Amino acid sequence: MSDVVEKTLTALPSLLSLDSQPGAAKLSSTSKLGQLIRSITELTSKHEEEKLIHRELESIKEQVSSPNTSMRQMKELMVRAIYCEMLGYETSFSYIHAIKLAQQGTALEKRVGYLTVSLFLNETHELLVLLVNTVLKDLQSTNLIEVCMALTAVSQMFPKDMIPAILPLVEDKLNHPKEIIRRKAVLALYKFYMIAPNQVQHIHNKFRKALCDKDPGVMTASLHIYLRIIQENPEGYKDLTASFVTILKQVVGGKLPMDFNYHSVPAPWLQIQLLRILSVLGKNDQSTSEIMYEVLGESLRRAELNHNITYAILFECVKCIYTVHPKSDLLEKAAKCIGNFVLSPKINLKYLGLKALTYVVQQDPKLALQHQMTIIECLDHPDLIIKRETLELLFRITNAQNVTVIVEKMLEFLCISKDDYMTTDLVGKVAELAEKYLFEYAPDNEWFIETMNTVFSVGGDMMEPDIPNSFLKLLSEGFDSVEEDRKLRLFAVDSYISLLQGEPGKLPQHFLQVISWVLGEYSHLREEIEPAAVLKLLAKLLDLKKTNSETKSWVLMAVMKICDGGAGISVAQEISEIYSNSLDTVLRQKAQELQQLSQNPELRARVLPRHTGLEPLEVDSSLSFLDGFVSEALASGAAPYKPPHQRQEELAHTKALSLEPYGLSLPISLSSCSISDRQSPTLLSMSSGLSGDSNDVSHKESSATLKLDGVKRVWGREGYLAQRDPVEEAAQVEVPSPIRSPIQQGEADDSHSQTATPAPTPECKQEKQQLASSLFVGLASHSPVCLMGKSEPNLSQRFRQKAKGSVSSPKATDQTPNSLVSAPIVVDNYLSDNLLDPITSELTLSSPKQTLSQAPTNANGTCDEAFAGSDTKGKESFLIRGSGVPVPDEDEEPGGREDLCLSSYLPAEHTGLPHSEITPLCSDQSLDLSACHVEEEESLGLILFIHNSSHSDIQQILLEFDTNELEVSCVLDGLVQEVRSHSVAVCQYSLTVKKPSVHVEVVGMVSYQFPAGTPQSVSFSYKLPLTSFIRPLTVSTEEYGKMWLTFSNDTKQNLTLISDGLESLRATLSALKKKLPIHVVEIIGVEGIVACRLLPDQPCLIHCRVHAGTLAVWLRSRVPDLPDCLVYYCQRALLEH
């Protein structure tokens, strides 16, 4: 790196020099910039600097406005403006002149103009639209420098609204003869993919061409795109695994030019990028992982130089080895590498080792046992970052046997931590551990309440709000045992009363709110304490100066619940009199309520009844009682309700740029009919509407002119962004009843040492060994405990209520899937042109046969043997239902899988309906899972076939689904708890899309158990196109027009016509109708309207118009992402035709 810095410093004076003469090696003493810098360095105060800069800005402003200023002088003025802007002074007057400088002048002057614009303007700036024509002109220039400057500006500043205007020109640059142009074009497309992926879906084949480019720089740039798209859809790019492996082999073997070496390491950043891609492709896929085993071992072997960049390669290589399907010898090498990091005396390497150990400890818990003493020493390390990463590692290995010791160490660190981020993070981790192991560990209620008290005290007001809310929910809902509920609540009441009797002024506001709620709800359980005594303690909180209005409202609410005759009423009356005249509206309302309820016990008993915390509340979430009012308001002309996110999107679109070309003028016969810009497309023409505002829903049919009253002339894509409130500085609090550690931590050394700590005394060493035995208990391979990172299915929520009749967590198994293994594919040259054709490429992995013995990886699903303790947060669990009655296969011989015909097991009600091919999802030695989907008129059904291929019955079958895109619901009732030997069980589910995307995926896990065996589980995934959830929508032209005006989420795109001529629109719509489930409402001349719906009832309207040899489509829907997804399928359908 030193040689790079040296070259940069050497070239810096010539870059700053405004003297255009060749050979100028230093900043000209006569240049205005040099004089400005010299003047600023001689100043002695900030006030003098401000006066100097203001005079300079006035001079610059006067000169840029002068018509006699030459381009060379303008260049110098822009450089001086950049320097003033860098010092923090506003130079907005120069922005427009920077754009002008980029539009004209010599290459050097345009270079300064583009530099100034890139530094001054962001993606949402209103002046950026003035740069579009300049960029378009420079992209078509024959001057390489101008093309490079335009591509750089595109990748830095252009928002997604401007992408359609420049995308074709950027695509053409992928074929440019100069490699620097091709590389910059790839980087520009990478920027486009990040901000608007749907607009570059059609050029994925060109990404493959960039991967095959003969220049390594272009190929390296394409890896950024591939890493992104592979992370989103790894199944679609499995065929490129061998290509990435071949590239990595050539890089590791030193086949690239020496220019790509860094400290004798061949292309280290390219290696890191390839390792990240391979880890995504090989995850849970044995056949794909086997292709990369050899190159992973070679990467570990060659990264032997003692340099930071080789350590980075080793770290990524270790992560990749532990992510792909495991191989024993590679795991041993990776474990040895982690050990070298952890045992290193250098702080950076030790941190890297702890980071890697934290990542891999879930796959190999025994690895932490090998370095337990080193981890214990890291707890006392003087470097706080090492301490924090060590606590993160301990959090990952927490189980029911070591939770108390780990919580103690975390609380010790919290008491000395002064970093807000670390405090917030650790507070959340301690709360999660306390709640997760409240039932498993089941110590006494004292441990849980005291731990949460420490969390509330140390975390203060910086903790996440869901922590106290979930804690109160747990106390309210209780557990299975009434006696346990009473004990927990009683201890909480006793603890909080003792805290209020001490110094409550030092407690955080969130903690005071928790105390107020608990005492208001459960202080009556402690019968020996008078309500008046509790009221006086709460009244003390109202008198504290630090108590804010929100906390006071919590206290007043608690007083309402407690006051019950006698002295309590007098205390409540005094409080209500004090706050009945408060300036705070909420406090004044609470005081009035308190006054009324304290005087009327019967009313208080009805409004605030006790012993009703466990009764379910019926909530009308649809607010159906307002239907009559809403109907009357709509009939009177009121606007329909729009949710907040829709209003935000409309505001953003209102200020967005429309880059669609204007349509042709109206025919003479229609010129007398002046049509509003936002008029429905079902009327005479949409020639003006294609370029108008797509979100203004005001429309009056009687209007004969275009109404522009109240339209803001403000440029910008996102509009004004909400400002985040600054985080208030946390006050110092006293920790009540902290949990003491059995082993006192030594004083931390303030200095950051790069050497190992001194050897401990025998007594200290013995204490550390005892601590290690407490921390790392339960990590042996034979132990049945479950680590924190692998939570059980019945403990998936934060602050869980004990599940009644819950299924026991199955034990983790370590079995190898019984699957077909594809042979490794060898590619001699990563520049092979076969990548350009994904259909006929030799790199495409052979597709498996449609049998139950198929490999876990196939077109629609993936499968892997999963630990039963894997995280199932947010999953839906189903026992096998419906038609899942065991169906014995009389014709099949035991052990035979080959000739099993699953189509015969389709439910009778689905035999006449269209359905997909039955796709094997996953299999192991005993169970095979297959699936298909059935397209019904009003729903999409998912049929799962569970085949028991073993000689024993399978019991306790549980299906769990984990997907954020779909809602999975069981169709039929009736439980099936077992599947007999060599039988098939059929399950039916109904799928509904919650968030549209191009492809939706059903991800889940099936767990089962033999009568005399250990629990086992297999995970699976099933991918469906969004078109499976689309149905034609039959509407009239009038209904179409009314709906069009009410939808605000829209997308515009130009598509390719199938044929030329008068019938091109009809032919194109017919082709779309064959490929997609749409309904053509009407075709009038060169315009057509189409309708469809997303199940169950989300319409999407499409307006089509033939213009300039293309099909301009405009899609609208009330669902935000639906138009973009349908545009993708329309493009794909026309390309396949």
Dump pLDDT digits (tens) for 768-792: 666 655 556 555 543 434 455 444 4
Global confidence as pTM: 0.55
Has residue 242 got a pLDDT over 50? yes
What's the rounded Cα separation, in Å, for the pair 86 and 1104?
A: 49
Q: How far apart are CA 774 and CA 772, in angstroms?
A: 5
Query: Rounded to the nearest 5°, which phi and psi values hold at 761?
Result: -75, 160
Name the band, by pLDDT with cuts 50, 70 and 90, for residue 683.
Answer: very low
Torsion of CA 754, 758, 760, 765, to 10 degrees: 30
pLDDT of residue 565: 64
Identity at 838, one-letter amino acid code: P
- Over range 659-664, report the average pLDDT: 48
State which H helix or E strand residue 960 sits in.
strand 954-961
Task: Report d(CA 536, CA 542) in Å as an integer.
Answer: 10
- Report pLDDT for 657: 54
pLDDT tens digits along 138-157: 999 888 899 999 999 988 88
DSSP for 676-696, written as a single string? -TT--TTSS--TTGGGS-SS-
pLDDT in tens, 729-745: 433 434 444 433 333 33
Query: Residue 862 is encoded by which pair of tokens?
Result: 């993936």
* pLDDT above 90 for 667: no
Burial environment of residue 588 by CB neighbours within 10 A (0 to 12, 13 to 18, 19 or more): middle
| CB within 8 Å of 872: residues ≥ 6 apart | 791, 792, 793, 796, 960, 962, 1005
Mean pLDDT of all residues in 864-882: 41
753 vs 749: CA distance, rounded Å: 9
**Tokens 């003297």 -> residue:** 19
Query: Distance between CA 1077 and CA 1032 in Å, rounded?
Result: 5
Centre a 10 Å sphere on the Cβ of residue 491 and count the other Cβ atoms it contains: 16
What is the model's pLDDT at position 569?
A: 81
Assess contact for 375 and 393: CB atoms under 8 A.
yes
Average pLDDT over residues 224-253: 90
**pLDDT average, residue stretch 577-586:** 87
Indicate the angle between helix axes 384-396 and 372-379, nearest 10 degrees. 130
Least confident of 103-107, 132-136, 454-458, 508-512: 103-107
Q: What are phi and psi of 1092, to 5 degrees?
A: -150, 175
Cα(1078)–Cα(1100) distance, integer angstroms: 10
Confidence grade of residue 874 (pLDDT, cut at 50, 70, 90)? very low
CA 1019 – CA 514 distance, rounded (Å): 41
**pLDDT score, position 768:** 64
DSSP state of 201: G
Query: What are the tokens at 86?
Result: 């860098």
Separation CA 794–CA 960 (nearest Å): 11
Average pLDDT in the chain = 75
1091/1107 Cα distance (integer angstroms): 21
DSSP 231-272: HH-GGGGGGGHHHHHHHHHHHHTT-S-GGGEETTEESHHHHH
The token duo for 1041 is 């027009």
Q: Please state the rounded mean pLDDT for residues 999-1009.
A: 85
pLDDT band at 248 (very low <50, low <70, confident <90, very high): very high
| 3-state DSSP assignment of residue 718 | coil
Q: At residue 825, what is the residue type?
A: I
Distances (CA, A) of 119 to 9, 91, 195: 21, 12, 20
Confidence of residue 52 (pLDDT cuts 50, 70, 90): very high
CB count within 10 Å of CB 721 equals 9
Measured between its terminal Cα atoms, the distance across the chain in Å is 54
> Which residue is it, tokens 């809902």?
477
Asked if residue 861 has pLDDT above 70, the reply is: no
Q: Which pLDDT value is given to residue 276? A: 93
Measured over the CA atoms of residue 329, residue 331, residue 336 and residue 337, the dihedral's sign is: positive
And the tokens for 469?
A: 């809310």
Q: Chain centroid to CA 806: how far?
A: 31
- The pLDDT of residue 705 is 44
| CA distances for 629 relative to 395, 643, 644, 793, 1042, angstroms | 54, 18, 21, 45, 22
Pairing of strands 966-970, 978-979: unpaired
pLDDT of residue 977: 65
965, 1023 contact by CB (below 8 A): no
The arithmetic mean of pLDDT across residues 250-265, rounded, is 88
Give dist(CA 1080, CA 1062) in Å, integer: 18
Cis peptide, bond prior to residue 1096, ω within 30 of zero? yes
